[in-house]
């Protein structure tokens, strides 16, 4: 409970280093999820919201099928909210060699929640002929269908 209060105070005072310190000390990804939800659900300026989300993104552990991480949903929401194709393509590209099922799930979630222009840009930015493009062909299909 105290950690959540500390995160709220850190967000209000714009002290992201405190969030990082709490996470490094506890390695509790739910604190990152709480931070993300707090910044999305409160009326912070968009520029600060984006700053916080960009700050949180590298702190989230990379999702794996073995970890059964519930935080894949949070990563998807973060990527869709930021609408940053470069981060999205990079994550998909990193997942495909070892975590194909997670890449599929992430791509399904992106298609479900992402805006058409965001999905179109992701589709266009996927490496041509690369396995990433093969593993998420329905991203291309879903963009073409809408």
For every residue of 82-134, DSSP letters joined together read: HT-HHHHHHHHHHHTTT-HHHHHHHHHHHHHHS-HHHHHHHHHHSPTTSHHHH
- The pLDDT score that the predictor gives to residue 136 is 57
CB atoms within 10 A of CB 115: 11
pLDDT of the residue at 98: 85
| Cβ atoms 139, 111 nearer than 8 A | yes
Q: Which pTM was predicted?
A: 0.84
DSSP code, position 143: H
The parts of the chain modelled with pLDDT lower than 50 are 143, 146
Q: How far apart are the first and last CA of the chain?
A: 44
Match 């209060």 to its residue by tokens: 5
């Amino acid at each position: 409970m105290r950690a959540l209060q500390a995160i709220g105070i850190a967000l209000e005072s714009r002290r992201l280093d405190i969030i990082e310190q709490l996470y490094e000390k506890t390695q509790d990804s739910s604190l990152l999820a709480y931070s993300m939800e707090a910044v999305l659900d409160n009326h912070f300026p968009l520029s600060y919201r984006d700053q916080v989300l960009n700050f949180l993104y590298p702190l989230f552990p990379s999702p794996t099928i073995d970890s059964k991480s519930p935080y894949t949903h949070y990563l998807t929401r973060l990527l869709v909210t930021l609408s940053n194709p470069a981060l999205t393509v990079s994550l998909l590209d990193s997942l495909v060699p070892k975590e194909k099922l997670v890449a599929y799930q992430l791509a399904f979630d992106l298609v479900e929640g992402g805006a058409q222009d965001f999905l179109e840009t992701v589709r266009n930015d996927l490496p041509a002929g690369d396995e990433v493009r093969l593993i998420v062909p329905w991203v291309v299909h879903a963009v073409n269908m809408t």
